Structure 1
Amino acid sequence: MDRDVSKPRVVVGVDGSPFSYAALHWAVRYARFVGGVVEAVAVWELPGLYGWSAPAVDTDVDEDETRRRMEQELTDVLGAEGAGSVRTHVVHGNPADVLLRAAEGAEALVVGSRGRGGFARALLGSVSRHVSQHASCPVVIVRSEQQ
């Protein structure tokens, strides 16, 4: 991740869910308020990669295509100008661990209250819960209007 310290960094986790889009909007508004930059982080993890089932997993993930899809989603959510001001990172790994590393030295880490998975009635998802307990910077957990 880029560690340009000339401006405050606001790191936001983006996974394509309405909750992450709400977090992205919040991060952009907050970054404007503090004169900072937004770093949107999309994390991909192959199910079963860690552990005994690893040989059975298809590891043919097109990272360039994933990056293009993320940039298109940002444009759809923020518009072309808004998306152009956001730094994007597509990283392989465990989502909570990647977000915690990305947020080191950041002004704030912003995540949606839930992501793509989990139980519909859960107040917090596993990633938002984990980062709220372990981040070295303030964490903002944003709920979506689309509950």
Structure 2
Amino acid sequence: MSGHDASDTVRVVVGVSGSLGSVSALRRATALAHRLGAELWPVLAWEPPGGDPAARRSPAADLLVAEWQRLAKQRLAAVLDEIFATAGPGVPMHAVIVRGAPGRALVATADREDDVLVVGAGRRGLQRAFSGRVSRHCLAHAVCPVLAVPPSPLESQLLSFHRRNTWHLRMDTRGL
């Protein structure tokens, strides 16, 4: 930390869910943390299936919450391991799992003015109206700068191939 108190260290907070958009955001956040000499804070937010009211009504609520939290921690570790493998990100990293809605959890974690919050910007096309809620929430409510990373061209191509397979349409494979 080079003589700085932990509260003085610049943090690059990034939302991670395992989606292609979050992987693009994680890669961009890692590069930004390198340039800034900052800590990388990958955050995975989770909510109980059916929301908190459904979890509270369950007779084994405490056991279920512990299991869901364990699964969230396992998912974050798997994503980080897949992206960084054994080499690591090359910057100090503090991985966090937070119980709550993703947008609120990210804004609450990136709560200092000198933080930088990195989020995936959502999808393009027909699904646009139903995606991007997290990035919009972060852009509207964060106290720090927010970098919204657009989907990669590869993601658009994969979605196109997926749609074609779903509808059994012919694919032009000449360019592959």
Give the SS at the match of 2:111.
Answer: coil
Does the C-alpha gap of structure 1 residues 52 and 72 become closer, same or farther in structure 2, counting only changes over 3 Å? closer
Counterpart for residue 72 of structure 1: 78
Identify the residue that residue 107 of structure 2 maps to in structure 1: 100
Distance 1:14 1:48 in 2: 21
Q: Deviations over 1:37-87 (max 9, x none)?
A: 100000101243245896369851422332123112111112222258431
Query: Structure 1: how far apart are the matches of 2:136 and 2:59?
Result: 28
Distance of aligned partners of 1:93 and 1:53 in 2 relative to their CA distance in 1, 3 Å threshold: closer
TM-score when normalising by structure 1? 0.82
Superimposed CA distance per residue, residues 104-123 of structure 1 (whole angstroms, 9 cap, x where no aligned partner) = 114200001128xxx63349
Corresponding residue number in structure 1 for 2:9: 7
Distance 1:125 1:57 in 2: 35
Structure with bigger gyration radius? 2
**Could you tell me which residue of structure 2 aligns to residue 135 of structure 1?**
142
Going from structure 1 to structure 2, the CA distance change for 1:123 and 1:34 (only over 3 Å counts) comes to farther
Q: Equivalent pairs: percent with the same residue? A: 32
Q: Which amino acid aligns with 1:107?
A: D
Name whichever of 125-134 and 50-59 sits farther off: 50-59
Q: Does 1 or 2 have the higher relative contact order (CA < 8 Å, sep 6+)?
A: 1
Q: Show structure 1 runs of 4+ deviating over 3 A.
A: 50-54, 56-59, 121-124
Q: Which of 138, 144, 147 lines up with 2:151 in the alignment?
A: 144
* Closer/same/farther in 2, CA of residues 52 and 7 from structure 1, 3 Å limit: closer
Once residues 17 and 48 of structure 2 are traced to their aligned partners in structure 1, the CA distance between those partners, rounded to angstroms, is: 14
User: If the length of structure 2 is used for normalisation, what is the TM-score?
Assistant: 0.69
Moved more, 103-112 or 12-21: 103-112
The answer for unaligned runs of 5 or more in structure 2 is 157-176
Instruction: Say which SS state the counterpart of residue 7 (structure 2) adopts.
Output: coil
